[in-house]
Structure 1
Amino acid sequence: MGDPWEQGHEQVVFCRDRASGLMAVIAVYDTRLGPALGGTRFRAYPSKDAALQDALNLSRAMAYKNALAGLDHGGGKGVILGDPVTVRSEPLIRAYGRFVESLHGRYVTACDVGTVVADMDLIGRETRYATGRSPAEGGAGDSGVLTAFGVFQGLRAAAQVRWGAPEALAGRLVGVSGVGKVGRALVPLLLDAGARVVATDPAPAAVGAVAGLAGVRVVEDTAALLREPLDVYAPCALGAALTAEVVEGLSAQIVCGGANNQLATPEIGDLLHARDVLYCPDFCVNAGGVIAVADEWAGRDRGGYDAERARGRAARIFDTTLAVLTEATETGVTPDTAAARTAERRMAEVGGLTRIFTGLP
């Protein structure tokens, strides 16, 4: 796992509530741009070390994502250890909410893999620092829809760079691995753009939701999907989807998906570049969801969540992705390097303003 002390985080909190069985980690990577914002993942991790490392990796990615999206938020992430199907309970979720409250606004949470809007409503009964709540509670609801919209905008930018126009997705074969929250919402956008889709997911219900759509073909698993003559590969499940083995056999000219931390190791970005595969950095294109919950958070003082305003901001992911891919080409670096540099530049330059005292509230 490496030394957690050397990974640059401002704060890591271990959460334990014996009565409910809660075991969780909250990692705050950087707060120079504002309070750390990032979802809570609920997963049966193979070990406590794996859960900790996931929290560390995801919180760092959230800092970059928020910076690239132009948000006044730093990066944080929470992970709850356990199978959400078997151990989720109201006491456990609300206990987690009390730990979020104990950070006094340094971390604002939202949904992620394994958590749902109903969980955020429960967390919101224990802390004001919960977003992604239901519309009935004044929230944005399922942020996966806007995440998919942002991924689609990133893919349109990649199509312009690789094939000359955003509309060049028409007729292309896109492989979507994972059709849960984000992948399921991405598929109709691809179909409307004239693309053909081959999809897979281990959950029968998820596959069933897209299997009947015209233009969609379902395959058994990701290995079968990757054997298809893909033009685009869209990883939309868990991280580390891009390994050396996957890249070596990849037919796709573009990789653009909704999953977080898609590169199994940093060196995978170089392998993609060497094979002339255009990679859209995940923390650049999958920011639609955090844009939604950031609007909900800011909307507390301005009339609540505004779906049109959030969608307009998510549409700018096209421009952000195009700028990142253009900079990568012009400077000869990989897209993930170009995106990281852009994010780090904003964190340093804009975040540096926090050194200036702006007066009492």
Structure 2
Amino acid sequence: MFAMMEAARLEELHLTQDPATGLKAIIAIHNTRLGPALGGCRYLAYPDEQSAIRDAVRLAQGMSYKAALAGLAQGGGKAVIIRPAHVDNRGALFEAFGRFIETLNGRYITAVDSGTSTADMDCIAQHTRHVTSTTEGGDPSPHTAMGVFAGIRATAQARLGGDDLHGLRVAIQGLGHVGYALAEQLHAAGVELLVSDLDRGRVQLAVEQLGAHPVASDALLATPCDILAPCGLGSVLNGETVGQLRCSAVAGAANNQLASADIADILQARGILYAPDYVINSGGLIYVALRHRGESLAAITTHLQQISRRLTEIYAHSQADKRSPARVADALAERLLYG
């Protein structure tokens, strides 16, 4: 356990359980140099407890890097609630989690993530103020999509020589809240959409509303396109799939898209430009962090513009140094976090 924490430079790891509600939760606080740790709460089934802990630790580290490069006065953290096979009262479970967060005295602020909703955050908010993306605060997904759209334009400029997306082929893997909102923005910009999702209803909706072309989930990565936009769960780019890619760039909303750091080098060697996921998908974090601090929507929209500027900076360093953008982004973030 401590070896895992040391390898990730994790500051704190908290575990709790509440037999009365079935709560089994993990909170990983990675780095608080820039401010209190902020990160979403996942509510998912895991094959074992170690997998849940590893997920929380890795995601917390990514949140530190994301907050640093987004120019936020926040640290990085993540919560994982292991979803039980059966729960009698979901609201009571999340209220118990809220009481747990309160014991950390503001060192961690939670938000929505995979498997959780604004309604869950409302339950948490009954017992702690260290929570955002409640019903009152609003869903951060549209702002994540806005940031990814801006990042795709910056990526197109760097890789294809122009930020006019009209006529480009973009393959979107995953049509959840962020993926579908991104698809809508790309459609409005004249993009030809290729889409896949395990939910056939979402695919059909994209076909009917956006003129998208459906592609089987297991075939999308190998489908020719200009830009691949992974918008589902992580580790989609691994030793098996990276060789199948037939795109010029990868720029999407999913967290932890690379199964391991060396995948970034393989993409670089293949001439595929990679938008570091925690940079391009930081719009949601920007939204929840600034809303939690009471900032206006106008201020949040202005701050979102930093995403494309930061990506352009990273791509310039990548080209000059002949290094993957992922390596460049890590170095820039670590400079901010550790000096």
TM-score range, shorter chain: over 0.9
Code of the residue aligned with 1:52 in structure 2: it is I
Supply the distance in 2 between the matched residues of 1:182 and 1:85 (Cα, whole angstroms).
28
- In 1, distance between residues paired with 2:102 and 2:143? 27
Determine whether 1:229 maps to 2:219. no
Maintained 8 Å contact 1:174/1:197: yes
Deviation at 1:343, TM superposition (A): 1.1
TM-score (norm 1): 0.90
From 327, 330, 333, the equivalent of 1:343 is 333
Q: Aligned-pair distance for 1:296?
A: 1.2
Aligned-pair distance for 1:187?
Answer: 0.2
Equivalent in the alignment of 1:318: 308
Q: One-letter code of the match for 2:142?
A: V
Q: CA offset at residue 50 of structure 1?
A: 0.6
- The answer to whether the aligner puts 1:201 opposite 2:205 as a matched pair is no
Output one character per residue of 1:260-287: Cα deviation in whole Å (capped at 9) or x when no partner.
Answer: 0110011100110010000000011000
The corresponding residue for 2:178 is 182
Q: Secondary structure at the match of 1:166?
A: coil
In structure 1, the residue matched to 2:108 is: 107
Q: TM-score, normalised by structure 2?
A: 0.96
Q: Equivalent residue for 2:145?
A: 148
Contact 1:244–1:271 (CA<8 Å) still a contact in 2?
Answer: no
For 1:41 and 1:162, the matched residues in 2 are separated by 34
Contact 1:272–1:278 (Cα < 8 Å) also in 2: yes
1:199 aligns to what SS in structure 2?
Answer: strand
**Which residue identity is paired with 2:156?**
A
RMSD: 1.7
CA distance, structure 1, for counterparts of residue 258 and residue 169 of structure 2? 22
Task: Give the 3 Å change call, closer, same or farther, for CA 129–205 of structure 1 in structure 2.
Answer: farther
In the alignment, which of 165, 170, 178 is matched to residue 166 of structure 2? 170
Residue 151 of structure 2 corresponds to residue 161 of structure 1: no
2:278 pairs with 1:283: yes
1:113-160 alpha-carbon deviations (Å, 9 max, x no partner): 11111111111111010001113xxx1x11011001111111111111
Instruction: Give the 5 Å matches for 1:269-308.
Output: 269-299=264-294, 305-308=295-298
Mind listing any 5+ residue stretches in structure 2 that lack a counterpart? none
Tell me the alpha carbon deviations over residues 70-108 of structure 1, each in whole angstroms, 9 at most, x when there is no partner: 000000000110169967701101111111111110000
116-125 or 200-209: which moved more?
200-209
Change (3 A) 1:344 1:195: same
Query: Residue 244 of structure 1 aligns to a residue in which SS?
Result: coil
Task: State how far apart, in whole Å, the 1-side matches of 2:40 and 2:158 are.
Answer: 31
SS at match of 2:55: helix
Q: Is the 8 A contact 1:84 1:114 kept in 2?
A: no
The secondary structure found in structure 1 opposite 2:64 is helix
- Call closer, same or farther: CA 1:88–1:82 in 2, change over 3 Å: farther
Equivalent residue for 1:356?
none
2-structure distance, mates of 1:285, 1:84: 34
Match of 1:332 in 2: 322
Looking at structure 1, the residues matched to 305 and 189 of structure 2 have their Cα atoms a distance apart, in angstroms, of 16
Work out whether 1:21 is the aligned partner of 2:22: yes
Q: Label 1:85 to 1:219 Cα distance change in 2 as closer, same or farther (>3 A).
A: farther
State the shift of 1:210 in Å.
2.1
Q: Is the 8 A contact 2:178 2:231 kept in 1?
A: yes
The structure-2 alpha-carbon separation of the partners of 1:275 and 1:86, relative to structure 1 and needing over 3 Å to count, comes to farther
Q: Kindly provide the amino acid, as one letter, of the partner of residue 3 in structure 2.
A: D
Q: CA deviation at 1:212?
A: 1.2
Equivalents in 1 of 2:194, 2:84: separation in Å?
A: 29
Q: Equivalent residue of 1:28, what SS?
A: strand
Cα distance, 1:203 vs structure 2: 2.1
Query: How far apart in 2 are the matches of 1:203 and 1:86?
Result: 24
Spell out, residue by residue over 1:32-56, the C-alpha distance to the aligned partner (whole angstroms, 9 max, x if none): 0000011001111111111000000
Which 5+ residue runs of structure 1 have no aligned equivalent? Answer: 300-304, 350-361
Secondary structure at the counterpart of residue 46 of structure 1? coil
- Runs of 4 or more above 4 Å deviation: 83-88
**1:2 to partner: Cα distance:** 9.3
**Number of equivalent positions:** 338
